[in-house]
Structure 1
Amino acid sequence: MKSAHHIAANSSSARWRRSTYSGGNNECVEIADNLPELVHVRDSKRPAGPVIRVNRAAWSAFITHLR
């Protein structure tokens, strides 16, 4: 089985989007949920910066908790 790090190593095809709640400012997180296995999360102010990758179950639990 491949590790999550190996699966997500290439995120060049990620389609990034930010929450509609951000109001159009550039101080928000962006997510890419179009890739298999993992959801990618980054700081919109630093698009070339680090990316956090979480499995879909963890992301779903996080979003459910926020609501």
Structure 2
Amino acid sequence: MALVELGRFNRNEAHILIGRLDSEGVVAIPFDGEASIGDGSYLFIAVRVLVDEDDLATAKAIVESAA
């Protein structure tokens, strides 16, 4: 399993997207969401959403269909 970046999203969008991907059977993992929680700027740092490289095309199609 090799993880690849699907995209960078604000904190709320990232978690909504992860839920949507999960409902479609695509495992997604958030990264960097807690990067600056200590100094209070965590809402300004984009969350990277990572998926298995084998699921990338499916995940991109799900993102595009939601736009």
TM over 0.5: no
Q: Which structure carries more helix by proportion?
A: 2
TM-score, scaled relative to structure 1: 0.30
User: Using CA pairs below 8 Å that are at least 6 residues apart, which structure has the higher relative contact order?
Assistant: 2
